[in-house]
Amino acid sequence: MSHLKFNKKELVNLEYSLSLEMLSTNRAGGYTSTTIVGCNTRKYHGWMVCPIDEFGGEKHVLLSSMDESVVQHEQSFNLGIHKYPGMYEPRGHKYIIDFEYEPTPTLVYRVGGMVLKKELLVVHNEEQILIRYTLIDAHSPTLLRLKPMLAYRSIHSLSKANMYANTQFKVINNGIASKLYTGYPALHMQVNKQNEFVAAPDWYYNVEYAEEKNRGYEYQEDLFSPGYFEMPINKGESIVLSVALKEINAKTLLRNFDKELAIRPPKDSFMNCLRNTATQFIMKRGKSTEILSGYHWYGSRGRDTFISLPGLTIATNDLKTCKAVLDSMSAKLNNGLFPELLDSDTLEYNSVDTPLWYFWAIQKYAKATDDDETVWKDYGKKMKSILTAYRNGLNEGILMHENGLIWAEEKGKPKTWMNAVVAGKPITPRYGYTVEVNALWYNAVCFALELARKYNDRSFVKEWKNIPKLIEDNYMDTFWMPEKQHLADYVGYDGQNQRIRPNEILATSLPYSPVSDETKESVLNAMEREMLTPKGIRTLSPKNPKYKGIYEGTPAERDEAFHQGTVWAWLLGHYVEARFRLHGKAFVEEAKRIFKGFEEDMTTRCICSIPELYDGDPPHNPRGAISMAWSVAAVLRIAKMIEEYDN
């Protein structure tokens, strides 16, 4: 029996069904995503979305959807659904009687006495989707029609009818190949049985995407259909349609579908749902293994990679992938910094905390492998180069001062994870000594010294041995606020910034901490009083006049609210880790309650996943990207910690 439960009676209710999105990836950057009834509500939705090498690896929506129709007695019933101005047409959702997500997204339609099942399957490590149609019941001869709706555009833009589109197609084995524009790959659409392709080229105007409208973006586009496939389907028969970037042997489609379906990971428990989703962020392209930060609009980012890595790999016992990512990222190190946007045409090296998260990820890997010697051999030189770059100020705006602390400042460019910018102005600039950066810095120096001492790197030990004590002596004097009993978020030219923010949690959770257990307890208690929610940690206290409890509005309004009260699940992983460090097994039951609180997310927005953020105000509605790597990673880490301390 499936662990994931859906309200089958509400499937025809668009208010319910359009709020549930599904996502399947090929583990190579491509994906299929739509709502559970197949109505696209985002420009990022599509049945064939994949990175295009000719366009720098940017993701493009090639196949927007596939509209199916069943025909009996010359009467056609269209099972598709699209939103147009003021109406939905066709309204195929009214025929849906069942939806399942395990082992693969499956819809069942009933039209009179005719019952048709549709299964969607994204092929791993290939740019290919397979759709299997099975006629479960029918009392009359039945025809199946399949009409592809093409977009051929970047995930960030919208298509419009134009005279430059190539509306021709090429006949291939049991199908056609279509390529709307020069420079794109052809889309090969093939069926496992002989069929007739009826050429009926046409544009469908003003298809609307409600979520884009709500987000304040353009939301109407035109889709092109070259025609439709038509073939008879008998009761009990299965027909498989392949959509791919290369021509395949159509005769193998039924067998390939069964073979691919057999290797789907189980989703029969909350943990298995999380494990399955964790793999969807791992992207292997060529010799590089990267972590995709989130779906749909995020690419690979340095900071997110290191924060997510232990949860996505170590917590799922996938140490091989963990090392592959560390090795791929290590190759990108430049002058002590990592690029923040890994898939950008112009790489920017301006994040002060990302290289320090690299140390933390390596720490977790070293603990999991229990092989410090190999870790020091593989990554020691890289770690030492980062520390040297920070100490000597090799990068603009990043420098260790005489007090041992890191000062970070670059006008107009936020350097920490709180990096929202509106009209060229950072919302939370945080110039100066930042509380989490210096906690990460202390941890990095201590970890490097630990390994250097263990493997007799005497010159490094001699050079750095006094730095931890120097940081300790100045960290509390710089950040501690006695009257508030917690740490300042940052200390700049105007002194301590006294807004309570969640960043100080890192001073309590890292393996090496510059503060005492008494200080940790005080900080965590402050978090619990004002910042802790069931879904994560707020980015600003509700008591602050700048607090924004609801994340909504125009893009600029949302960016202004991004770190002004929104709740982030990734921070919760560090809160739980800090509590475990202080209280051990006594915190297990509370950690279990926190972990259990995310189970409802499996069927409330993006099936089987956890979103980017939540509203600061109850009921803490999900917001932002529908599936976020560091959110999933945090919950997996919490589960791993529960397992360790419970035993």
Q: Give per-residue pLDDT as tens, 270-281.
A: 999 999 999 999
pLDDT at 577: 98
Any residues with CB less than 8 A from the CB of 346 and at least 6 apart, and which? none
pLDDT digits (tens, 9 = 90+) for 206-240: 999 999 999 999 999 999 999 999 999 999 999 99
Q: How confident is the model at residue 343 (pLDDT cuts 50, 70, 90)?
A: confident
Task: Mark which of 262, 279, 307 sits at the end of a domain.
Answer: 262
* Domain identity same for 246 and 302: no
Question: In this structure, are residues 592 and 570 in contact, taking their beta carbons and an 8 Å threshold?
Answer: no
Q: How confident is the model at residue 412 (pLDDT cuts 50, 70, 90)?
A: confident
Is pLDDT at 377 greater than 90 in this prediction? yes
Is pLDDT at 632 greater than 70 in this prediction? yes
Helix locations, 263-347, DSSP H:
270-279, 302-312, 319-330
pLDDT digits (tens, 9 = 90+) for 64-98: 999 999 999 999 999 999 999 999 999 999 999 99
Task: Mark which of 222, 244, 262 sits at the end of a domain.
Answer: 262
In degrees and rounded to multiples of 5, residue 9 shows phi and psi of -70, -20
- Is residue 56 one of the residues assigned to a domain? yes
CATH for 225:
2.70.98
* Domain identity same for 238 and 275: no
* Domain identity same for 378 and 481: yes
pLDDT digits (tens, 9 = 90+) for 604-624: 999 999 999 999 999 999 999
pLDDT at 347: 81
Tokens 């790999």 appear where?
Answer: 313
Is pLDDT at 335 greater than 70 in this prediction? yes
Is pLDDT at 1 greater than 70 in this prediction? no
CA 295 – CA 606 distance, rounded (Å): 10
- Is residue 1 one of the residues assigned to a domain? no
CA 372 – CA 391 distance, rounded (Å): 25
Q: Which of 84, 79, 83 has its CA nearest to residue 97?
A: 79
Is pLDDT at 195 greater than 90 in this prediction? yes
* Domain identity same for 480 and 405: yes
* Domain identity same for 316 and 371: yes
CA 197 – CA 377 distance, rounded (Å): 60
CA 149 – CA 204 distance, rounded (Å): 9
- Is residue 2 one of the residues assigned to a domain? no
* Domain identity same for 321 and 173: no
* Domain identity same for 310 and 220: no
- Is residue 58 one of the residues assigned to a domain? yes
Question: In this structure, are residues 77 and 71 in contact, taking their beta carbons and an 8 Å threshold?
Answer: yes
- Mean per-residue pLDDT for 345-355? 89
CATH for 640:
1.50.10.10
- Mean per-residue pLDDT for 5-9? 90
pLDDT at 348: 86
Mean of pLDDT over the chain: 96
* Domain identity same for 506 and 602: yes
pLDDT at 261: 96
Tokens 């949690």 appear where?
Answer: 505
| Pairing verdict, β 238-244 and 128-137 | antiparallel
- Is residue 181 one of the residues assigned to a domain? yes
Q: How confident is the model at residue 2 (pLDDT cuts 50, 70, 90)?
A: low
- Mean per-residue pLDDT for 498-509? 97
CA 122 – CA 460 distance, rounded (Å): 50
194-198 contacts, C-beta under 8 A, 24 or more apart: 194/231, 195/229, 195/230, 195/231, 196/229, 196/230, 196/231, 197/169, 197/171, 197/227, 197/228, 197/229, 197/230, 198/227, 198/228, 198/229, 198/230
Provide the number of structural domains found in the chain.
2
Question: In this structure, are residues 24 and 39 in contact, taking their beta carbons and an 8 Å threshold?
Answer: no
In degrees and rounded to multiples of 5, residue 318 shows phi and psi of -110, 70
Tokens 């099972």 appear where?
Answer: 79
Task: Mark which of 262, 292, 313 sits at the end of a domain.
Answer: 262
- Is residue 17 one of the residues assigned to a domain? yes
pLDDT at 462: 98
- Is residue 120 one of the residues assigned to a domain? yes
Which pTM does this prediction carry? 0.96
* Domain identity same for 77 and 191: yes
Q: Which of 147, 161, 163 has its CA nearest to residue 243?
A: 147
Which range of residues forms the domain containing residue 307? 270-646
pLDDT digits (tens, 9 = 90+) for 418-428: 999 998 899 99
How large a percentage of the chain has pLDDT more than 90?
A: 94
- Is residue 191 one of the residues assigned to a domain? yes
* Domain identity same for 79 and 175: yes
CA 592 – CA 595 distance, rounded (Å): 5
* Domain identity same for 433 and 457: yes
pLDDT digits (tens, 9 = 90+) for 30-43: 999 999 999 999 99
Question: In this structure, are residues 256 and 208 in contact, taking their beta carbons and an 8 Å threshold?
Answer: no
pLDDT at 342: 85
* Domain identity same for 238 and 338: no
